[in-house]
Amino acid sequence: MSPEARKLARQLLDRLDGQTESPTTAGAPAPHAATAANRPARGHGAATSPRPTVHRTPNRPTRQRSRTQLTDLPQVQESLARDKELTDGLAAVNRPSPYYRCHEGPNGATIQLDNREFINYSSYNYLGLANHPRLIAAANEALDSYGTTSGATRIVSGNITLHHELEALLAETYDVDDATTVGSGYLTNATVIGFVLGENDLAVCDSLVHNSIVTGTQWAGCQRLQFRHNDPESLDTLLTRTRSHFERAMVILEGVYSMDGDYVALPEMIEVARRHDAFVMIDEAHSFGVLGERGRGIRELFDLPGDAVDIWMGTLSKALANHGGFIAGNRDFIHACRMSAPGMSLYAAGLTPATAAGTIEAIRVIADEPERLQRLRANSERFLDGAKAAGFDVGPAHGTPIIPVMIGSTHKAVQAAVLLADAGINVNPIAYPAVAEREARLRFFLSSEHTTEMIDHTLKLLTEISAVL
């Protein structure tokens, strides 16, 4: 940058901060008045269209204004105010915030926090695979072979054999043509919805779908409507009223709902969607590896063919103990997503070699060690039955590894979590804005590695704390 251009940039920044006069009124050249000396030369590949001209009335005083700060944004202020209220309340009783705490070691059925061991119910590690020797060995071998990264975006130069192996394994699991993986589960949902739907289309969502699905509908620019949670009749009523007003429609569901722990009435939902000529997409983040006789998800639970659903979506960060997401389905559709859907293989790096190898091994371990799934189910049922027997409101939980215990307010939910932490139990409160204020809760994630003694001890403490609250 030339000294003249640097001086002009400084004047413009100072003007935005309200620290100097307008460069125009101070006698400096107007920003658009580039001279032959400082105008960039045009060459091969340079833009040829002229710069837009800014018309100003000479010598008109420029209105001064202070520079807007990011911390002035209302959403930032609201978030900071909520956090301050929480931390001030906890500081008054000498307790740490339950959020974003650093732990040592694997995030399993027990966890090390602040040099103490806790019984842990705040991990997606449903099958205890996060520190499984086979997964660690597979990840280490991939690191030795490929290094830490797959390179660039996959469409350019970032493909490795492990990507193809994993995607073939996922396609086989769902009995479909093909699958593709993505570096983020959240991004998987947002991207595929944004790719499929447009401004003349309709997304019909269960009222409890994940925020990533809501984001996808915003990226698509489509209309998004909600039906009552897990209610096929409500879905039918909504589609009957609205379907004819849109070119395409897609019904979007979850296998297991992450806040309530119940699973979708999938066959009934599919029947309604097909009657109204709507695509069906299902998010299996919390159901793959958990439902079905072999842990193959909601499709196996209901014994459905692979083409019963148009888009099978899942994440690698829950039962599979890794990171990222995937979609599975029709070969041509998956290929189009790879080539043209921003955020999948286009403009986004592929899975790291260690992640791809670890996920492949996780799928194999689930098949080789079915006792893990059996223990998980037994633990989930024991906790759910015990919570109900103690009189707790567990919402619509079905006995999946997600069991909410409704507390009723943010203040009480945080207080309950703090008291449990004092007793060596790590469970996170879920409060507004993640759920409605009146539905604040403790959300327990069960693992195959919890023992019956851990579960019974937790329920006993929870009952005692509930009486205090």
Query: Which is catalytic among the residues 123, 258, 317, 447?
Result: 258
Alpha helices by DSSP H, listed for 17-150, are 74-92, 133-146
Distance from C-alpha of 320 to C-alpha of 285, rounded to nearest angstrom:
10
Amino acid (one-letter) located at 446: L
12 three-state secondary structure: helix
Q: How many alpha carbons fall within 13 Å on the CB side of residue 354?
A: 13
| Interacting residues of 93 by C-beta distance below 8 A, sequence separation 6+ | 418
Radius of gyration of the chain (CA): 27
3-state helix, strand, coil in the chain (%, to 5): 40, 15, 45
| Interacting residues of 424 by C-beta distance below 8 A, sequence separation 6+ | 116, 117, 118, 119
Q: If we measure between CA atoms, which residue out of 452, 304, 323, 432 comes closest to residue 383?
A: 452
113 phi and psi angles, rounded to 5 deg: -130, 125
Do 384 and 399 meet the contact criterion of CB atoms below 8 Å apart? Answer: yes
Q: Is the peptide bond before 133 cis (omega within 30 degrees of 0)?
A: no
Query: Which is catalytic among the residues 132, 163, 210, 318?
Result: 318
Q: What are the structure tokens assigned to 164, written together?
A: 């193809």
Q: State in Å, rounded, how far the first CA of the chain is from the last one.
A: 64
Do 261 and 398 meet the contact criterion of CB atoms below 8 Å apart? Answer: yes
Query: Which is catalytic among the residues 123, 286, 317, 345?
Result: 286
| Interacting residues of 54 by C-beta distance below 8 A, sequence separation 6+ | 30, 31, 32
Q: If we measure between CA atoms, which residue out of 1, 86, 51, 3 comes closest to residue 429?
A: 86
Check if 412 is active-site.
no
Check if 318 is active-site.
yes
286 three-state secondary structure: coil
Do 420 and 466 meet the contact criterion of CB atoms below 8 Å apart? Answer: no
Check if 132 is active-site.
no
Residue in this structure with the two tokens 């090390």, named with its chain if needed: 112
Q: How many alpha carbons fall within 13 Å on the CB side of residue 234?
A: 12
Q: Which residues are catalytic?
A: 258, 286, 318
